[in-house]
Amino acid sequence: MQLNVTTDYAIRIILYLALRKEITTSKEIAAAMSIPQNYVLKITHKLVEAGLIKRLVGVQGGFSLDKTVDEITLLDIISIMEPTTRVNRCLEEDRFCSRYAIENCPVRSFYCTLQNELEKNLGQMTVKKLMEGTG
């Protein structure tokens, strides 16, 4: 699985807000992270909708975390930003298999194990751990 650049930016924006510990404008985020400001606004809009960050409107406005650093995981961020987090099509909700072999496929069984490990590791990696470098 390869994360898209938008997801990478979302992770970095959350980490930046966590490190700043104060209301930060999209302009400040864009400058610090070398991300175009309109792209920052697109990403932060999704993060606000998901409840990970909050937006404060007005002269003193900007963005800040809406959850604590030990409540936000990489799995949370990736699940919001990526259209899918599944390592293979057969693991999607519809369980599509061109071979019609979902129930007895040893490859799918391996993919399930891999998917579970990936989700477990991403779910355990909090923003706090990223900040501490203990990932």
Count Cα atoms within 13 angstroms, Cβ side, for 48.
Answer: 14
Confidence at residue 100, expressed as pLDDT on a 0 to 100 scale: 62
- H/E run at residue 64: strand 62-65
Which amino acid, 51? G
Please tell me the total count of domains within the chain.
1
Q: What is the pLDDT of residue 60?
A: 86
* Angstrom distance (rounded) from CA 70 to CA 76: 12
For the chain, residues with pLDDT lower than 70 are 87, 96, 98-102, 135
Report how far residue 87's alpha carbon sits from residue 99's, in angstroms, rounded to the nearest whole number: 18
Whole-model pTM above 0.85?
A: yes
User: Model confidence over 94-107: pLDDT tens digits?
Assistant: 776 766 666 778 87
- Domain hosting residue 13, numbered range: 5-132
Could you tell me which residues are beta bridge partners of residue 63? 24, 55
pLDDT of residue 46: 97
3-state secondary structure of 56: strand
Domain with residue 18: its CATH number is 1.10.10.10
